Amino acid sequence: MRKSSIPAIDIFAGPGGLAEGFSNAGFDIRLSVEMDEHAHNTLRFRSFCRKLRKAGKNNELIEFYSKPESDNTFDQTKLTAKHVRLWKHAEKEAMQATLGETPAKEVSDRIEAALGKEPKDWVLLGGPPCQAYSLVGRAKMKGTGEKFENDHRHLLYREYLRIVAVHAPSVFVMENVKGLLSSKHKGTAIIDQIKSDLSNPRGAIDEAPLRRKRGKVEYDLYPLWKPKKEPQNALEQNKSHIVNAENQGCPQARHRLFIIGIRRDLKLKMHYLEKFAKDVSAWEVLHDLPKIHSHLSKEKDRGWLNVINEIIDSKADKWMQTHQPDVRKSLKQTVQTIRKHRGSGAIMVQRVGTALPELHDWYRTEQTPVCLNHEARGHMPTDLHRYLYSSSFSEVHGYSPKLEQYPASLLPAHKNVNKKTGKAIFNDRFRTQCKGKPSTTITSHIHKDGHYFIHPDPAQCRSLTVREAARLQTFPDDYLFCGPRTEQFKQVGNAVPPYLAFQIANVIKKILCQTLTA
């Protein structure tokens, strides 16, 4: 076995999902590069937390988390000022830079400095920004007339490619969205071009730094799941790179493309992920979080309670008298308990209950007794009615109702909704995350689309909090997301699930352990 940790560099890092998983698997995160200010702040503070724990100071971290400021925020300087050396190391590890705009030499210099004396083996992590590849992103651009092929994000993979070519990692892990499989640029399939380039990166890029490098750097490319049979064509081969997170113990249906590159001269054997026998449902990881209710937009708890009381007392309201007896019964049961939930949460809440045994230790880092970023957002009164109906319907039927299954009085006044039929362009605009199955994909637009992420407990009558979205993404409960709540949601939605990253890291570790047994 190795006596030292394997270095890893994480680019296009987001809030650090890949780095968190690899760090927990024993890798040494030397550098994380991210352009977004708030995600970079999250990365930097998490790096500091890892270093603080390694120094045996976890009690100080627990004390810090237990005393948020009066404005429901954390003043990080109170902690970082006590550990200046560790904070400086964290600042060095987390680099804010926009790849493609920040000079390439500056990025390369930081990578070389982070790696120090050329290590025998190291790993490159990351996925170029994927909005241009995603099916939703492409649909948005099609609707606005924006040219998909001209989006600069479309070619950012070449920044990843340049780093592979210049620095020649032993192994790289490239992550992207499933939409990459159908993406084309000037008539050519993007995925085929990317794989061709990654196989021979120095042959694909002609830059001065590369001309000084001697010899070829070639890679063999692999999927993370071992194909059951040999792919018969390029399409089957490309599809084999898709990993379904729900098959790996994550409580979320998230399908992402992963390409593993192993440097050919190392002659290493590929290892693969092992699928889990059972899916983990959303409810299994959400049910033990503190029960909270939402509030009305720009109002306090009293406004929320007034709306709930109106719902409870309006026996003549047509939608409460739904023609579905089972849903009507569920609604009546819900209103008996809905007044019991106190408070709309906070940046820090005490943890309660017991989570799914398999993920218990994962969510509870170092037994830190808190959950962070668990605060409900405000909702419109009409949306509370819809949330209550949708979650009650889901409780009974095990699936979320389409708009055509809503009482007419609850249909939104939207130009894309036909009031007579309930038909709409997005027929599942209001969607409850059902208890008995993994959640739908947590996306970056969760920050402005809470309707699509309604909590499965009707009595809580709200959309998911940042912490609940982070639970579905398998971030530990003490992982603090920085910035305004809108930015926190974006960070969570853009990340690789850390628990999936942890499993990938263990695969990479098995691969690299073939090169050194001392």
Q: How confident is the model at residue 2 (pLDDT cuts 50, 70, 90)?
A: low
CA distance linking residue 459 with residue 333, whole number of Å = 9
CA distance linking residue 54 with residue 51, whole number of Å = 5
Angle between helices 381-397 and 325-337 (to 10 degrees): 120
What is the average pLDDT score of the chain?
84
Among the residue ranges 100-109, 253-262, 427-436, the one predicted with the least confidence is: 427-436
Residue 3, classified by CB atoms within 10 Å of its CB into exposed (0-12), middle (13-18) or buried (19+), is exposed
Whether 131 has a pLDDT exceeding 70, the answer reads no
How, if at all, do strands 219-222 and 255-263 pair?
Answer: antiparallel
Strand, helix or coil for residue 89: helix
- DSSP of 476-499: -TT-PPPS-HHHHHHHHHHSPPHH
pLDDT in tens, 146-203: 554 555 555 688 889 999 999 999 999 999 989 888 887 777 788 888 899 999 999 8
Mean pLDDT in residue range 332-343:
69
Segments in 33-103 forming alpha helices (H): 37-54, 58-65, 77-80, 84-93
Whether 352 has a pLDDT exceeding 90, the answer reads no
pLDDT in tens, 217-233: 999 999 999 988 888 88
Mean pLDDT in residue range 457-476:
95
Residue 397, classified by CB atoms within 10 Å of its CB into exposed (0-12), middle (13-18) or buried (19+), is middle
Q: What six digits make up the tokens of 147?
A: 């040219």
Task: Report DSSP state, residue 185.
Answer: E
pLDDT in tens, 302-334: 567 677 767 666 644 566 666 677 887 887 778
pTM: 0.90
pLDDT at 356: 63
pLDDT in tens, 41-79: 999 999 999 999 999 999 999 999 988 887 888 999 999
Whether 1 has a pLDDT exceeding 50, the answer reads no
Cα–Cα distances in Å, from 200 out to 126, 163, 194, 241? 18, 13, 10, 19
- Beta bridge pairs of residue 257: 176, 242
Between 286 and 302, the more confident residue is: 286
Whether 473 has a pLDDT exceeding 80, the answer reads yes
Q: How confident is the model at residue 408 (pLDDT cuts 50, 70, 90)?
A: confident
Superfamily of domain 7-279+498-512: Vaccinia Virus protein VP39 (3.40.50.150)
Q: For residue 176, give the H/E element and its range.
A: strand 171-177
pLDDT at 348: 58
pLDDT at 135: 47
- The residue extents of the domains of the chain are 7-279+498-512, 282-494
Q: How confident is the model at residue 204 (pLDDT cuts 50, 70, 90)?
A: confident
Strand, helix or coil for residue 306: helix
Q: What six digits make up the tokens of 412?
A: 């939104």
Asked whether 336 and 330 are in contact (CB, 8 A), the reply is no
Q: How confident is the model at residue 293 (pLDDT cuts 50, 70, 90)?
A: confident
Whether 471 has a pLDDT exceeding 60, the answer reads yes
Mean pLDDT in residue range 252-277:
96
pLDDT at 333: 79
pLDDT in tens, 373-389: 999 888 888 888 889 88
- Measure the CA angle with vertex 334, ends 331 and 335; round to 5°: 90
pLDDT at 205: 81
Whether 427 has a pLDDT exceeding 70, the answer reads no
pLDDT at 224: 97
Whether 350 has a pLDDT exceeding 50, the answer reads yes
Q: State what percent of residues in the chain have pLDDT above 70.
A: 80
- Beta bridge pairs of residue 346: 374
Catalytic positions are 130
Contacts of 129 (CB under 8 A, 6+ apart): 12, 153, 156
